Structure 1
Amino acid sequence: MAIGLSTYAFFWRGSTQVEAPMTLAAMLEETAALGGDLFQICDYPAIESLTAAELEALREQAARLGIRLELGTRGLAREPLERYLDIAERLDVRLLRSMIYSGDDRPDAQQAVQRLEALLPRLRRQGVTLALETYEQLPVDALMAVIEQVDDAHVGICLDPANCVAALELPGTVIARTAARVVNLHIKDFHFTRSPGWVGFQLTGCPLGEGLLPLSDMLARIDPAGRGIGAVIEHWLGWQDDAATTCRLEAEWTRHNMNLLRSNVS
Structure 2
Amino acid sequence: MTRIGSDISLARVGDLWGRGPALLDTLHAQGLEGVNIRTLTDLSPDLDAAELDSFRRRAGELGMYVEMGVGKINPFMTAELPAVRQLGDGDYVAGMERMFAACAEMGWTTLWTACAGVKEHAAPFDTDRGRREAPWPDQLRAIRALVDKLLPALRHFDLVLGIETHEEITTHELVRIVEDLDDPHIGICFDPANPIARGEDPRAALERIAPYVVSTQLRDIQVFPSPSGTALTRFLRPCGDGQLDWNETLGILLAANPMLNLTIEGVGGWSGRSDVPTADRFWRSLHPDLSEDELAALGVLGARSVRASADGEEPSLSALDVFRSDQRAAHDAFVARSAAHLRSVLASLAASNPSR
TM-score by length of 1: 0.84
- Aligned counterparts of 2:324 and 2:72: Cα–Cα separation in 1: 34
- Report deviation, 1:201: 4.9
- Aligned counterparts of 1:46 and 1:185: Cα–Cα separation in 2: 19
Partner of 1:181: 212
231-240 or 65-74: bigger deviation: 231-240
Partner of 2:223: 192
Partner of 1:258: 339
- Aligned counterparts of 2:17 and 2:25: Cα–Cα separation in 1: 14
Work out whether 1:87 is the aligned partner of 2:170. no
41-50 or 130-139: bigger deviation: 41-50
- Aligned counterparts of 1:87 and 1:166: Cα–Cα separation in 2: 34
* Equivalent in 249, 268, 277 of residue 218 of structure 1: 249
Partner of 1:7: 8
Contact (CA 8 Å) 1:71, 1:95: kept in 2 or not? Answer: yes
Specify the code of the residue in structure 2 equivalent to 1:25. Answer: P
133-142 or 36-45: bigger deviation: 36-45
- Report deviation, 1:41: 0.4
Runs of 4+ in 1 over 4 A off after TM superposition: 102-107, 194-201
Matches within 5 A, 1:1-266: 1-7=2-8, 14-15=13-14, 22-43=18-39, 45-49=41-45, 50-76=47-73, 78-101=93-116, 108-194=139-225, 201-223=232-254, 226-239=257-270, 240-243=323-326, 246-266=327-347
- Aligned counterparts of 1:108 and 1:172: Cα–Cα separation in 2: 27
- Report deviation, 1:189: 1.1
- Aligned counterparts of 1:235 and 1:176: Cα–Cα separation in 2: 24
- Report deviation, 1:11: 8.8
C-alpha RMSD over aligned residues: 2.9
Cα 1:195–1:172 change in 2 (3 A) is same
Pick 1 or 2: higher relative contact order, CA cutoff 8 A, min separation 6.
1
Percent sequence identity is 25
- Report deviation, 1:251: 1.8
Specify the code of the residue in structure 1 equivalent to 2:69. Answer: G
- Aligned counterparts of 1:235 and 1:80: Cα–Cα separation in 2: 28
- Aligned counterparts of 2:229 and 2:149: Cα–Cα separation in 1: 49
TM-score by length of 2: 0.64
- Report deviation, 1:74: 3.4
Cα 1:242–1:86 change in 2 (3 A) is same
- Aligned counterparts of 1:254 and 1:264: Cα–Cα separation in 2: 15
- Aligned counterparts of 1:224 and 1:123: Cα–Cα separation in 2: 26
Contact (CA 8 Å) 1:112, 1:146: kept in 2 or not? Answer: no
Name stretches of at least 5 consecutive residues in structure 2 with no aligned partner.
Answer: 74-91, 118-127, 271-322, 348-356
Contact (CA 8 Å) 1:208, 1:257: kept in 2 or not? Answer: yes
Q: Which structure: larger Rg? A: 2
40-49 or 195-204: bigger deviation: 195-204
